A = this chain, B = another copy of it.
């Protein structure tokens, strides 16, 4: 299945990336060696973590990244210069990418991805990288919250119709990494190897003279297993009793009914009453699927009420990452010409961390996540890490087991290793299991410790002094 963004990926960028690229090209600075960090500042949804996603998609697009004839013709109409357009015509991304694995649990301020390459190529991919990683990490995180709330029950992505346009394609991929088992989105399923799922709409029921005949027609069309939408007229007096009739007819022919779907009303009450009717008819195997404006809090509330629900169809709130519709990830120059660089901000303690860095995850004796440390790439794991903004706040990690979080995923523009969506999803489940529950709860989660090495914070202090002068002078 063809990827939509592969063509014209070069134009899927902010205009200023191309302006700057032309400027550097003209100034002879295009090939200066550089490094950039991708990181975010705040966990979304008031939560305690981010589930990193989008990497596989990014690497695949970067391998194909180029400017086609019509792309260049368009840029020429905007006044870009011939020598630069000639440069773009031959341009391929040849950089090296170190990154957390897709499905990794990551935290604010730590570099999740490091891009090494020329100044021009590193900058040129900024918008594409931010667009893909910010959104997919956001939806994967949301999905992990919804699936956690569902406590092992099946969650299906029903979001395409309310997705933000074509965002639906990438959202369904990210939702799968976050633990969603199936999707209504057929294109995303085809593209990413996801499981497509769906039942029928109210229009199906309305298209027949009555509910029972609509159920019969559907069961006839899909005798190998179908789910019937029971809330078109009256769920308990008409929908469920008619579903029972059809289930019995199917059984008589050797088939069986898979489930019923409730899409309106009080889902806790209706699921309990429906379960009773089904069980009384001996249909204990028929599952109850619910949908209608669900999110992690409603899913949790339904199960807290012991609603006998087997699967949740989650749409709008999942696909648009309701609550925090954008992750605030940024991409900052950290090294140029072999020299560390940083981005100052109004609040100096929030200046970016300079230099080529790695992230070390410190595990406790049980193998659970205890803290993350940001270090220079060539530093050894530390005994103590320091809060990046208040360096007098320290955490001892000497007793912990260190592991590296960033791996070389692409070198010279070639992908070194790839994971399928299901591999990333499996990895995510394993990693989330190692994150202590106080960081995963929905209300006021405990803040996970992210620190930096003293050497790194000292360098930042030196560079700030160099740029702005010594505040004490």
Contacts and interface: CB of A to CB of B under 8 A. Distances in A.
A130 B187 CA distance: 16
Contact of A207 (B161, B201, B328, B336): B336
A22 interface: yes
18 contacts: A1-B74, A2-B70, A8-B187, A8-B190, A11-B190, A14-B186, A16-B199, A20-B204, A75-B186, A135-B163, A164-B325, A165-B166, A167-B167, A233-B468, A316-B328, A319-B326, A320-B326, A321-B325
Contacts of A123: 201, 203
A158 B126 CA distance: 14
Contacts of A126: 161, 201, 203
Which residue, A204, A234, A264, has most C-beta atoms of chain B within 10 A? Answer: A204
A207 B78 contact: no
Interface residues of A, number: 102
B161 A78 contact: no
Interface stretch (A245-253, A343-351, A390-398): A343-351
A462 to B, nearest CB: 16
Interface stretch (A216-224, A274-282, A440-448): A216-224
Interface string A306-349: 00000000001001111001111000110010000101111000
For the complex of A and B, 3 pairs with smallest distance between CB atoms: A16-B198, A15-B198, A167-B167
B264 A132 contact: no
Nearest to A166: B166
Contacts of A322: 325-326
Given A12-B169, A27-B221, A166-B170, 9 more contacts: A13-B186, A14-B160, A14-B184, A127-B184, A134-B161, A135-B164, A163-B164, A164-B321, A321-B325
Contacts of A383: none
A14 B189 CA distance: 10
Contacts of A1: 8, 70, 74
Report how many copies the assembly holds: 2
A15 B346 contact: no
Nearest to A29: B207
B164 A164 contact: yes
A274 B234 CA distance: 66
A233 B19 CA distance: 22
Contacts of A387: none
Which residue, A12, A186, A328, has most C-beta atoms of chain B within 10 A? Answer: A186
Given A127-B161, A264-B345, A2 B13 contact: no
B197 A13 contact: no
Contacts of A234: 468
A368 interface: no
A141 interface: no
Nearest to A135: B165
A255 interface: no
Interface in A90-127: 119, 123, 126-127
Contact of A196 (B78, B163, B316, B332): B78
Contact of A14 (B135, B198, B321): B198
B119 A131 contact: no
Contacts of A166: 4-5, 12, 165-167, 169-170
A82 interface: no
A132 B165 contact: yes
A336 B207 CA distance: 7
Contacts of A43: none
A351 to B, nearest CB: 11
A263 to B, nearest CB: 10
Interface in A1-36: 1-2, 4-5, 7-8, 11-20, 22-24, 26-27, 29, 32, 34, 36
Nearest to A12: B187
A160 B186 contact: no
Nearest to A189: B15
Contacts of A79: 224
A325 B70 CA distance: 33
Interface string A235-269: 00000000000000000000000000000110000
A200 B20 contact: yes
Contacts of A271: none
Contacts of A344: 232-233
A12 B202 CA distance: 20
A171 interface: yes
